[in-house]
A = this chain, B = another copy of it.
């Protein structure tokens, strides 16, 4: 019955599931982000980007170079510079010179940073759990499995673990 669909139409039809899933991902992500952002502000007087940085640093006790950090967070280099600057002022983060390379800087959590982040991380888990309460664990695993194929590009910067 479907006679002679124009090329452009059938083409965009083929593209539709992926665009739709993209829009859905975007929507859910924004919803969760908003909750996390609001709670971070209300309960810890901090921001999501700062939390993201702390989370990344918490995973690497030995610290991360600025470039490794921006790669892990998928943001620009210049961006990280400013955030780290403020975190250093607040005493949550420490800059350590890399021996043998005067260009690079290692960034690491301070004791205070670790403690602060521990509290935030626990709260963060609760918030996310609350927003996603309608997702059974099995469904989560399923989504994780399906989406695991994405972003398997040849790019890999040694320290960035892709287990997320």
Contacts and interface: CB of A to CB of B under 8 A. Distances in A.
A131 interface: yes
- The number of times this chain is found in the oligomer is 2
A60 to B, nearest CB: 16
Given A26-B29, A27-B151, A134-B149, A19 B144 contact: no
Interface size, A (range): 35 or more
Interface string A7-37: 0100010111111111111111111111000
A140 B20 contact: yes
Contact of A141 (B12, B17, B135): B17
Interface string A62-95: 0000000000001000000000000000000000
A23 B128 CA distance: 10
B146 A132 contact: no
A148 interface: yes
Contact of A150 (B12, B122, B134, B142): B134
Interface string A122-164: 1011101101111101011111101111111000000000001
Contacts of A16: 125
Contacts of A14: 129, 137
A55 B147 CA distance: 25
B19 A128 contact: yes
9 contacts: A12-B122, A14-B137, A17-B137, A18-B128, A21-B132, A25-B147, A31-B151, A134-B152, A143-B146
